[in-house]
Chains A and B, each alone.
With several copies, the nearest count.
Chain A
Amino acid sequence: MAIYIDENTRVMVQGITGNQGSFHTRQMLAYGTRIVAGVSPGKGGQEVEGVPVFDTAEAAAAQERLDASILFVPAAFALDGALEALNAGMKVVVAITEGIPVHDAMTMITIARQKGAVVVGPNTFGLVSSGKCKIGIMPNQIYTPGSVGVVARSGTLSYEIVANLQEAGYGTSTVVGLGGDRAVGLNFIDVLPELEADPETELIVMVGEIGGTAEEEAAKYIEAHVSKPVIAYLAGKSAPPGKRMGHAGAIIERGRGTFQAKVEALSAAGVEVAELPFQVPELARKILA
């Protein structure tokens, strides 16, 4: 059992013939992901890393059973690509692309929900069911199976934390990248119930940051519904208000989205908040001991 994806998930890569697309197709295949089709308009009939390429997602879906898709298409065409995947029946669409207009993101997320599907991202590193299936751009070597479920707004910071956990002897069950944009398909409160219900997960680690109110909403949810222990690390304590810190969503505006508000909310909900990233494995040791 795993959440969202597992060893049987059949994955399509949109934009497979591009630099990023082909590089990460190789990486994902190396991790063991079942990539069975690629899409690249005008390139139908080719192969990338042994994966057949189709002109459209419908053409691919006519040949292969497909469950999930990962998008490496330029921001201006990402909405169309996501809708194409959803329309072809995909239930998980991972939108790696950065800089997607937020109105486009809202549209793809809303339509996904109507179709009973999920968009992961945009501007996410992806998600991985450790040892089973990786759909994303993160380094393969840090995801070994274990009992820690990780849900993160940022990529490299979560790699840091996952690697720290790994070094400390803790593997991961599922790691989900929410994405750094203002409107993303999965928020903490969408993933928390899945991790709570997942028998492979014993401990939940949240990697949050300033901006928005996703952490505050998560705190409310955790207080009411989560019985498993939760550790959080939040980035941006020292960030000045009114400035976007790299992620479109990482900004303190009109007094909203501050570090303090998030820490208070999470602490009140019984979440252990780490002050520095390397404290996460230490807290994990205390909890899992």
Chain B
Amino acid sequence: MKLFEFMGKELFKDYAIPVPDGRVVRTPEEAAAAAEAIGSVVIKSQVLTGKRGKAGGIAFVDDPQSAQQEARRLLGMEIGGFPVEHLLVESKIRIDKELYLAITLDGGRRCPLILASLEGGMDIEEVPEAQIVKYPVDVTLGLRPFMAREICRRLGLTGGQAKAFSDLLFKLFKLFQEMDAELVEINPLVISGDSLLAADAKVTIDEDALFRHQALHRVEERTDLEKKAHDLGLAYVELEGDIAVMANGAGMAMATLDMLHYYGGKPANFLDAGGGAGVEQTARALELLLATEPRVILINIFGGITRCDDVAKAFATVKEAKDLTTPVVFRLVGTNEAAGLEILRGIGIQAYRTMQETAQKAVELSRQSSA
């Protein structure tokens, strides 16, 4: 779960990581009041995407009137598909140098990875590898002073700056671990003399660990439909095509989409009904798909733990209840296959045996109905 910059900075404050003086506002009038109180400010659109600077989502102003004006402009914007609903009005800070500091997860090493560079302020992807210090931290050791010394040495930081940097690094690492973060990123981390200031804050929290962080405000990145699916315990991603897809297993669902693409079709969604879904869950998944009003529905079930008869039963129920007219292409193999096929035949559906036949048929039908 990505946090807005202002939420990340609230967390930073909890961990005594210095951030510029600032306020979150939702209206031009509040922006003016904030500028009145703070003085020269920078107004930053709060969106869950990068590159807002390049998109014109940041404004520097010196008086409340300009603040109001710019805030109005920003609140009317959409950046990377996200409407701007909050602004962070912050004190302008003196910038001697911009560093980069992040902690992320290293799936290969299965441990937190500290990324630091003296070249901050730009996208880290644009910084040459040689300028980036990468330091993995063994989770059973945690961050230790000797590690901070080594990172400072590699960066070339000494004296007061090294001390301030290490101090901040320890706080950030603590936040990373205690808050179950997947990513904490400060870019730029601003040097003002010997002191450091987090000018930006990107924080992503592990959704699977949210149960440990009840106090944390929930940020919703999902579309309404995706949220509904999530609440049902289903993995669902909205796409832009016309063939609704349901498969059991994430890899199977991805492979089904790939095959539709391969044959020239356009899937409307990714939906993993789960490796061992029963009647109830399958029915819910189907209802969800119908709500998107697709041209064709493709159901691809390899029954392992999932029982084919359960899926067929669920489908039959939903079909009847919803008086389904959308064409459905079914593939049903594996555990209790015969019983499942029998049920489908009973409602007039002839299932396929292979993924490729299924996909080809779905693409064909989607073309017919769009013609």
Contacts and interface: CB of A to CB of B under 8 A. Distances in A.
Interface of A: 20, 41-42, 44, 55-59, 75-77, 80-81, 83-84, 87, 99-107, 109-111, 114, 125, 137-139, 142, 152-160, 163, 180, 182-185, 187, 207, 209-210, 212-214, 217, 233, 235-240, 243-250, 254-255, 275-278
The 5 closest A-B pairs by CB, nearest first: A154-B251, A246-B250, A156-B249, A157-B251, A101-B209
B235 A55 contact: no
Interface in B235-253: 235, 237, 239, 247-253
Interface residues on B, range: 35 or more
A125 to B, nearest CB: 7
Interface string B294-316: 00000000111100000000000
A157 B146 contact: no
A275 to B, nearest CB: 7
A160 B270 contact: no
Given A83-B141, A276-B259, A154 B249 contact: yes
B177 interface: yes
Given A185-B110, A235-B251, 4 more contacts: A57-B146, A155-B251, A209-B251, A277-B255
Contacts of A247: 250-251
B224 interface: no
Contacts of A237: 258, 261
B14 interface: no
B150 interface: yes
Given A183-B110, A237-B258, A246-B235, A278 B356 contact: yes
B276 A110 contact: no
Nearest to A59: B153
Nearest to A157: B251
Nearest to B140: A110
B158 interface: yes
Given A56-B146, A99-B208, A239 B250 contact: no
Nearest to A183: B110
14 contacts: A56-B153, A87-B138, A87-B146, A103-B209, A153-B251, A156-B251, A156-B304, A180-B251, A184-B107, A235-B254, A235-B258, A243-B270, A245-B235, A275-B262
Given A106-B105, A245-B270, A138 B304 contact: yes
Interface in B218-248: 235, 237, 239, 247-248
Contact of A110 (B111, B251, B355): B111
A55 B149 contact: yes
A170 B3 CA distance: 49
A104 B110 CA distance: 11
A111 B304 contact: no
B18 interface: no
Given A110-B138, A125-B275, A56 B150 contact: yes
B224 to A, nearest CB: 16
B250 A250 contact: yes
A192 to B, nearest CB: 14
Contacts of B272: 246
Interface string B327-371: 000000111000000000000000000111000000000000000
Contacts of B149: 41, 55-56
A94 B362 CA distance: 38
Given A110-B139, A139-B334, A101 B208 contact: yes
Nearest to B239: A240
A158 B335 CA distance: 16
A240 B105 CA distance: 22
Contacts of B182: 102, 182
